[in-house]
Amino acid sequence: MSFSVNRNDKMNVFIEDLTHDGSGVAKVDGYPLFIPGALPGEEVDIQVGKTLKNYGFARLLNITKASPDRVDPPCHVFWECGGCQMQHLSYEGQLVQKRKTVRDVLDRIGKLPHVPVHPVKGMDNPWRYRNKSQIPFGERDGKVVSGFYRSRTHHIVDTDVCIIQSDEADDLMAMLKHELHALGLDTYDEKTNLGMLRHLIVRKGRATGEIMVVLVTRKKKFTQKDAVIELIKRIVPNVTSIMQNVNAEKTNVIFGDETILLHGKPVIVDSIGDIDFEISARSFYQVNPEQTEVLYGQALDYAQLTGDESVIDAYCGIGTISLFIAQKAKEVYGVEIVPQAIEDAKRNAELNGIDNAYFEAGPAEVIIPKWYANGKRFDVLVVDPPRKGCDEELLKTILEYKPKRVVYVSCNPGTLARDLRILEDGGYRTQEVQPVDMFPHSSHVECVAWLEI
């Protein structure tokens, strides 16, 4: 197979766009090349690496004409770490690019050029926003390392600082790393399935300041447990909860099945708007609560509730959107396939004194028809699916029962565009889409779409 572009070729190219993971895109005789570190509008010298049938990859050698939006990344491990993809692009430039990403997929995948896409709602201060950190530990050349994985690898990029996570997470990451050997505690080795400490999880309530620390260990019993607890309490004196999760499996999945309370309470509390949420070690909870309030506020605006509506919240999780909506609706029915999440949702409703939210575990495409069969009728349906988008059977269920209004909260513009096309073909009309920047300096963007039948 021959190309006009071959491995090791060196050339100067113009960058037209960014990929979904933040790489620059250049086209040579129509053949796309993906170039990490390059930005739209730039002219760059590159060396071609891997070439496939429909696209290839290249290495950035030199920037001959820089984008006016290019900035120096403030993180010292940005070029190695896989946590952020866009720190070399100004924040204003990131928001413009994310809007363009949404516009492009709505046009290309959804065939929806008529649907307005509003400017992205960003943050005033897009740093230190993460309320949850998952930090792997390992050993290299006889030294403990911790930090974050290099992109598409399990190679730990060693660092003591991450400027998008909490100060407490930084302090714990640095101090634990430097004192583990003195405590006689070893770190986990993925290859041999030996060693004790696998991950450190730090969760912080933005509104309450409560902090949970989770130690993920290979074994339940280890002699240094008391010393590690005291070390954590010394580093973070106001720690609310210290938990241990046991994962003995040879796997890259972080959590095991058993979680043990070591100190304090088994949950911390945080608030989104006027709603309090109890967060356990393994609860799903949005990592940027400041922007979560913006996202859910937008969903509430699109729901256009007067207080008389019955609402379905599909993929309701621990009830975050359900309880937000329950403040304005007559009633909310939440459905989620994970039973533990439904128990959390019920507990959070009770915590907030909300008695017009009802939750049931099971597949939405099974539970929703059951509600209708029992005589319920719904005015609004809210969906907040995972990255893969709505289950095909759920989309069929929506089109069968046709609630008047659908509010679609999405973490993946591509699957959003695909699902909007299906709903449009079934009779809905997408009114508008509002992107929200939940993950500054990454290539991800969330959206809220408003549809009417």
pLDDT per position as a tens digit, 362-415? 999 999 999 999 999 999 999 999 999 999 999 999 999 999 999 999 999 999
Reported pTM:
0.93
For residue 436, give its domain range.
Answer: 100-123+288-452
Same domain, 341 and 317: yes
Q: Are residues 144 and 167 part of one domain? A: yes
pLDDT at 305 over 60: yes
Condensed to tens digits (0 to 9), the pLDDT of residues 78-100 reads 999 988 999 999 999 999 999 99
Q: Same domain for 440 and 295?
A: yes
Asked whether residue 3 is domain-assigned, the answer is no
- Final residue of a structural domain among 49, 65, 81: 65
* 58: CATH: 2.40.50.140
For strand 241-246 and strand 197-204, is the pairing parallel, antiparallel, or unpaired? Answer: unpaired
Q: Is residue 78 assigned to a domain? A: no
Residue 430 clears pLDDT 50, i.e. is over it: yes
Q: Using one digit for the tens of pLDDT, what is the confidence trace for 215-260?
A: 999 999 999 999 999 999 999 999 999 999 999 999 989 999 999 9
Last residue of a domain, one of 21, 43, 65: 65
116 and 42 part of one domain = no
Q: Is residue 3 over pLDDT 70?
A: no
Looking at every residue in the chain, the average pLDDT score rounds to 95
Local confidence band at 284 (pLDDT 50, 70, 90 cut-offs): confident
**Both 334 and 229 in a single domain?**
no
305 and 436 inside one domain: yes
| CATH number where 423 lies | 3.40.50.150
d(CA 421, CA 222): 54
Using a pLDDT cut of 70, give the percent of the chain over it: 99
User: In this model, does residue 1 exceed pLDDT 50?
Assistant: no
In a domain, 330, yes or no: yes
In a domain, 380, yes or no: yes
Sequence-ordered list of residues with C-beta below 8 angstroms from that of 410, at least 6 positions apart, any chain: 384, 385, 389, 416, 446, 447, 448, 449
Percent above pLDDT 90 for the chain: 93
Q: Which of 75, 81, 411, 447 is catalytic?
A: 411
- Is residue 2 over pLDDT 70? no
112-167 pLDDT tens trace: 999 999 999 999 999 999 999 999 999 999 899 999 999 888 899 999 999 999 99
Report yes or no on 54 lying in a domain.
yes
* Residue 161 lies inside a defined structural domain of this protein: yes
Regarding whether 136 and 111 lie in a shared domain, the answer is no
Task: Give yes or no: residues 365 and 441 share one domain.
Answer: yes
- Of 46, 65, 84, which residue sits at a domain end? 65
**Do 160 and 111 fall into the same domain?**
no
Write out the chain in H/E/C secondary structure: CCCCCCCCCEEEEECCEECCCCCEEEEECCEEEEECCCCCCCEEEEEEEEECCCCEEEEEEEEEECCCCECCCCCCCCCCECCCCCCCECHHHHHHHHHHHHHHHHHHCCCCCCCCECCCECCCCCCCCCCEEEEEEEEECCEEEEEEEECCCCCEEECCCCCCCCHHHHHHHHHHHHHHHHHCCCECECCCCECCEEEEEEEECCCCCCEEEEEEECCCCCCCHHHHHHHHHHHCCCCCEEEEEECCCCCCCCCCCEEEEEEECCCEEEEECCEEEEECCCCCCCCCHHHHHHHHHHHHHHHCCCCCCEEEEECCCCCHHHHHHHCCCCEEEEEECCHHHHHHHHHHHHHCCCCCEEEEECCHHHHHHHHHHCCCCCCEEEECCCCCCCCHHHHHHHHHHCCCEEEEEECCHHHHHHHHHHHHHCCCEEEEEEEECCCCCCCCCEEEEEEEC
Do 58 and 119 fall into the same domain?
no
pLDDT of residue 16: 95
Residue 445 lies in a domain: yes
11: left (phi over 0), alpha (psi -120 to 50) or beta: beta
- Rounded to an integer, the average pLDDT of 250-279 is 95
Let me know whether 116 and 188 are in one domain. no
Please report, for the domain that includes residue 183, its CATH number.
2.40.50.1070
- What number is the average pLDDT over the span 321-328? 95
| Residue 84 designated active-site | no
Q: Is residue 438 part of a domain?
A: yes
Instruction: Verify that 149 and 267 share a domain, yes or no.
Output: yes
When pLDDT is averaged across residues 166-179 and rounded to a whole number, the result is 94
Is the model's pLDDT at 17 over the cut of 70? Answer: yes
Count how many domains the chain has.
Answer: 3
